[in-house]
Amino acid sequence: MHMRVKETIENRRAYRALDVVEIDDETLDELTTAIRLAPSCFNNQPWNYVFIRDPDMLEKMKNVMSPGNEWTFRASMISAVFSKKEDDCMIKNREYHLFDTGMATAFMILRATELGLVAHPIAGYSEKKTKDVLGIPEEYTVITLVIFGKHSEHPESQLQGDTLKVEGKRPERKPVEEFARQDGY
Ligand SMILES: Cc1cc2nc3c(=O)[nH]c(=O)nc-3n(C[C@H](O)[C@H](O)[C@H](O)COP(=O)(O)O)c2cc1C
């Protein structure tokens, strides 16, 4: 499948109805390559990832999820994304580690989308439990968990109510005028 960036951006969705898919080493290599090529302040590359594919580890990760995120229990892979401010530019009040790690993660998510995978970032998890399960040192901030899978052809068998509704229709976006101005604020 060869998508253009425009199409990949359009096709990406934070789907929650997930089927099991094998994510092999070559696929993982594609994802880490996309991360590697992302820009960062001073080329600092402040990002860190733990990719979880082992079934026993995926089982343990169920305990870190917040209520409402039970759909993540069907993940075929989870990527924990973490960084710390000292690993990137700090220019007065501007701390770039979250920004740069976010860009790298967006690259990963788009590449995963192009490969036909769902890659859904979440904030609803216990950071403390995540660090405990994965052995991530205290000084890092776990910014997101990215949930990977294959989009189910039958979301109605997994989801209900608003969650099911949103699966078929992308949530509304702000009108452009609310965030984009021209030639001055
Ligand atoms: C930082 C971040 C945190 C999110 N946390 C959750 C979450 O905990 N649970 C969830 O189901 N979706 C989560 N989402 C997905 C968003 O709800 C989703 O991206 C948004 O509603 C737009 O939908 P779309 O990505 O399908 O266009 C998160 C997305 C981001 C970027």
* Span 104-113, average pLDDT: 98
* Domains present along the chain, CATH in parentheses: 5-168 (3.40.109.10)
CA of 120 relative to ligand 1 center, distance in Å: 7
Write the residue with the smallest CA distance to atom 5 of ligand 1. 122
Question: What pLDDT is stored for residue 1 in this prediction?
Answer: 62
Q: Apex CA 170: angle with CA 29 and CA 9, to 5°? A: 35
Question: What pLDDT is stored for residue 97 in this prediction?
Answer: 98
Q: Residues 11-67: pLDDT tens digits?
A: 999 999 999 999 999 999 999 999 999 999 999 999 999 999 999 999 999 999 999
Is 170 close to ligand 1, i.e. is its CB under 6 Å away?
Answer: yes
Question: What are the C-alpha distances in Å from 108 to residues 70, 79, 124, 184?
Answer: 23, 10, 20, 33
Do the Cβ atoms of 148 and 72 come closer than 8 Å?
no
Query: Is the predicted pLDDT of residue 136 greater than 80, yes or no?
Result: yes
CA of 64 relative to ligand 1 center, distance in Å: 17
Q: Residues 58-102: pLDDT tens digits?
A: 999 999 999 999 999 999 999 999 999 999 999 999 999 999 999
